Amino acid sequence: MQTNAPQTAVRTFSLHFLEAYVTTMRPYLLFVSGITGVAGASLVAGIDSIRALPVLLASFLSYGFGQALTDCFQTDTDTLSAPYRPLTRGVVTQRQVLLTSLAGLGGCVAIFALGHPFTLLLGMIGVLGLATYSFFKRRWWGGPFYNAWIVTNLSLIAFVAAGRTTAVPPGDGFGWMLAAVFWGYANFVLSGYFKDIEADRATGYNTLPVVYGRRVASITSDCFAFLAAGSAILAVRDLSAPVVLFLASGIAMSVIAQVRLHGNTQDADAHTAIAPVVHSYILTLSGVAVSRQPDWVLPLLLLYAGFVLTMRLRPAHNQI
If one compares 291 and 77, the residue with the highest pLDDT of the two is: 291
pLDDT score at 6: 45
Give percent of the chain above pLDDT 90: 82
Is the predicted pLDDT of residue 3 greater than 60, yes or no?
Answer: no
Q: Do 158 and 40 touch, CB atoms closer than 8 A?
A: yes
The total domain count for the chain is 1
Is residue 237 predicted with pLDDT exceeding 90?
no
The pLDDT assigned to 170 comes to: 65
> What is the predicted pLDDT for the residue at 252?
98
Residue count (the chain): 320
Whether residue 319 is contained in a domain is answered as no
List, for residues 100-157, the tens digit of each pLDDT value: 999 999 999 999 999 999 999 999 999 999 989 999 999 999 999 999 999 999 999 9
- How much is the pTM? 0.93
Quick one: pLDDT at residue 10? 86
The secondary structure of the chain as a DSSP string is: ---S--S-SS-SSSHHHHHHHHHHH-GGGHHHHHHHHHHHHHTSTT--HHHHHHHHHHHHHHHHHHHHHHHTT-HHHHHHH-TTSHHHHTSS-HHHHHHHHHHHHHHHHHHHHHH-THHHHHHHHHHHHHHHHHHHHTSTTTHHHHHHHHHHHHHHHHHHHHHT---PPTTSSHHHHHHHHHHHHHHHHHHHGGGGHHHHHHTT---HHHHHHHHHHHHHHHHHHHHHHHHHHHH-S---HHHHHHHHHHHHHHHHHHHHHHH--SGGGTHHHHHHHHHHHHHHHHHHHHTT-GGGHHHHHHHHHHHHHHHHT-S-TT--
**Residue-level pLDDT at 77:** 85
301 occurs within a structural domain: yes
Question: Is 2 a domain residue?
Answer: no
**pLDDT score, position 2:** 43
Is residue 318 assigned to a domain?
Answer: no
- The mean predicted confidence, pLDDT, of the chain is 93
Instruction: Determine the pLDDT at residue 213.
Output: 97
Euclidean distance between CA atoms 5 and 299, whole angstroms: 41
80-92 tens-digit pLDDT: 888 888 988 889 9
Which pLDDT value is given to residue 236?
94
Per-residue pLDDT of 293-318, as tens digits, reads 999 999 999 999 999 999 999 988 88
Residue (of 190, 160, 193) closest to 174 by Cα position: 160
Task: Say if 4 falls within a structural domain.
Answer: no
Res 319: pLDDT? 80
Nearest to 182 by CA among 170, 174, 194: 174
Alpha carbons 312 and 316: distance in angstroms, whole number: 10
3 is a domain residue: no
pLDDT digits (tens, 9 = 90+) for 39-67: 999 999 889 888 899 999 999 999 999 99
264 domain-assigned:
yes
Residue-range definition of the domain harbouring residue 308:
15-312
The alpha carbon of 62 is separated from its chain's Cα centroid by a whole number of angstroms, namely 9
Print burial letters for 246-275: b (CB count within 10 Å at least 16), e (below 16). Answer: bbebbbebbebbbebbeebeebeebbbbbb
